[in-house]
Amino acid sequence: MMHPSSDGPTLLSPARIRLALVALALGGFGIGTTEFVAMGLLPNLAADLLPNLAAVSPDAANAQAGWLITAYALGVVVGAPTIAAAAARWPRKQLLLVLLTAFTLGTIASALLPSFGLVLVARFVAALPHGAYFGIASLVAADLMGPGKRARGVAFVLGGLTIANVIGVPAITWLGQHSGWRIAYLAVAVIFVLTFLAVALFVPLQPGNPQATMRNELRAFGRLQVWFALGIGAIGFGGLFAVYTYVAPLVTEITGMPASTVPLVLMVVGLGMVVGNFVGGVLADKSVRRTIYGFFLLMIVALVGLALSAQLLIGLLLGVFLIGASASALSPAIQSRLMDVAHDSQSIAAALNHSALNIGNALGAYLGGVAIAAGFGYLSPIWIGAGLSTIGILLAAGTFGIDRARRMKGLTVPYGTQSVAVVGAGARE
């Protein structure tokens, strides 16, 4: 089957479509690696950038090094809506190339700057393009996939991020443990250079939205259901990151395994994310509501199970696999929900999902660090994560309850709306 291309009347062959999708997913691979590699290298970052504190209290140094993860997450939160709204009119391919250039430069700066404070700033700056890239790449992928496959298009781009957790993060973590964390970040910068070349060669030209303005895009923030959807991701996803941020000390201090086991555990988390992402994409095209409810329940059960069994290697591996799978399955569903309820503000809606998830990243990392610094140990972030995920499912009940009340009154609910027709059929309830 041939798909039309924005390059003109030329039709894209299936091979060209696949290459374009792989190029977009490669960007997700680079982003997933740069975002999550700090989790596995947290003790290395703490020892190198905070040597005095690490000599006195390794736990306190690890907790403070977690700020690097929080800074990255906050950069995503700030950059996603700002760039997506300001650049909604830009041709999508050109915007993706600009964002990849920014990723490359920010990652190189992270590797080369000498002090904790400067690296903290560099991680914030490097994160600014994150949400906008995933948002725009998801719109391009959904257009390439065709009608009725929106969530699967989103999942394909996110698939690069999840595969990064199987291959990229463990490999770069191993490299960082043996050659230094700075070399690890330089290797990530190479991934972004390769992505730039792949996008330039294979992704077809697509216009931006000529009717889009920053004012129109920002109207999404005036809709209550948008705030509910953001809250689901911002709070509920804290369950994943409360665990993932401190996975290295969890492995060594609670399970009692050597540091060389950390890349293996990260790989297991990544495998869970790969499975969950694609399962979630398929299920979200059938029912966003049931996908969100089902996988939040699974994540809560997995978090409680991990807290009770992390002393055993099998308990640790099973727990982190299920947490990664359930959290990753939620991502395309939450993004579909945002795109449904945002109506015509599609660019900002596609990007806001990543702002929300990275608020969860920052929240989980911060609260977990507070608990560890207060002396509650490395199991405490897991219980915090279970609480955050419980709030996430309660917010989901709230937003879908509003839809149900609207249907009972004969009002329109945001499924299959015209506003999402530009990227395929709207997701069903």
Q: Is residue 422 one of the residues assigned to a domain?
A: no
Biggest distance spanned by C-alpha atoms of the chain: 66
Q: Is residue 387 one of the residues assigned to a domain?
A: yes
Which residues are within 8 A (CB) of 64 and not within 5 positions of it... i.e. 6 or more apart?
46, 50, 53, 116, 369
Q: Which residue has the higher pLDDT, 425 or 197?
A: 197
Distances (CA, A) of 233 to 27, 239, 317: 22, 10, 24
Q: Is residue 142 one of the residues assigned to a domain?
A: yes
Q: Cβ(338)–Cβ(350) under 8 Å? A: yes
Pick the closest to residue 292 from 361, 225, 223, 392 (CA basis): 392
Task: For residue 83, give the CATH number of its domain.
Answer: 1.20.1250.20
Mean pLDDT of all residues belonging to the chain:
82
Q: For the whole prediction, is pTM greater than 0.75?
A: no
Q: Is residue 3 one of the residues assigned to a domain?
A: no
Q: Is residue 94 one of the residues assigned to a domain?
A: yes
Which residues sit opposite 3 in a β-bridge?
A: 12
Compute, in degrees rounded to 10, the torsion defined by CA atoms 249, 251, 252, 258. -130
Q: Is residue 243 one of the residues assigned to a domain?
A: yes
269-319 tens-digit pLDDT? 888 988 898 888 888 888 888 999 999 999 999 999 999 999 999 999 999
Q: How many residues make up the chain in this entry? A: 429
Q: Which residue has the higher pLDDT, 119 or 80?
A: 119
- Checking if the pLDDT of 427 tops 60, the result is no
pLDDT, average across residues 57-63: 82
Which residues sit opposite 12 in a β-bridge?
A: 3
Q: Which residue has the higher pLDDT, 123 or 350?
A: 123
- Checking if the pLDDT of 391 tops 80, the result is yes
Distances (CA, A) of 241 to 5, 109, 373: 38, 25, 17
pLDDT band at 212 (very low <50, low <70, confident <90, very high): low
pLDDT score, position 6: 44
Task: Tell me the three-class secondary structure of the chain, residue by residue.
Answer: CCEEECCEEEEECHHHHHHHHHHHHHHHHHHHHHHHHHHHCHHHHHHHHCHHHHHHCHHHHHHHHCHHHHHHHHHHHHHHHHHHHHCCCCCHHHHHHHHHHHHHHHHHHHHHCCCHHHHHHHHHHHHCCHHHHHHHHHHHHHHHHCCCCHHHHHHHHHHHHHHHHHHHHHHHHHHHHHHCHHHHHHHHHHHHHHHHHHHHHHCCCCCCCCCCCHHHHHHHHHCHHHHHHHHHHHHHCHHHHHHHCCHHHHHHHHCCCCHHHHHHHHHHHHHHHHHHHHHHHHHHHHCHHHHHHHHHHHHHHHHHHHHHHCCCHHHHHHHHHHHHHHHHHHHHHHHHHHHHHCCCCHHHHHHHHHHHHHHHHHHHHHHHHHHHHCCCCCCHHHHHHHHHHHHHHHHHHHHHHHHHHHHHCCCCCCCCCHHHCECECCCCC
pLDDT score, position 346: 66
Which residues are within 8 A (CB) of 138 and not within 5 positions of it... i.e. 6 or more apart?
153, 154, 157, 158, 335, 350, 423
Pick the closest to residue 364 from 227, 276, 274, 234 (CA basis): 234
- Please state the domain count of the chain: 1
124-153 tens-digit pLDDT? 999 999 888 888 888 888 788 776 666 677
6-59 tens-digit pLDDT? 444 346 777 888 898 899 999 999 998 988 788 778 888 888 888 888 888 887
Q: Is residue 25 one of the residues assigned to a domain?
A: yes
Which residues are within 8 A (CB) of 352 and not within 5 positions of it... i.e. 6 or more apart?
80, 81, 84, 131, 135, 220, 226, 230, 338, 342
Q: Is residue 7 one of the residues assigned to a domain?
A: no
Task: For the chain, give the percent of residues with pLDDT over 90.
Answer: 28
Identify the domain containing residue 187 by its residue range.
12-417
**Cα angle, residue 421 at apex, residues 419 and 427 outer, rounded to 5°:** 95
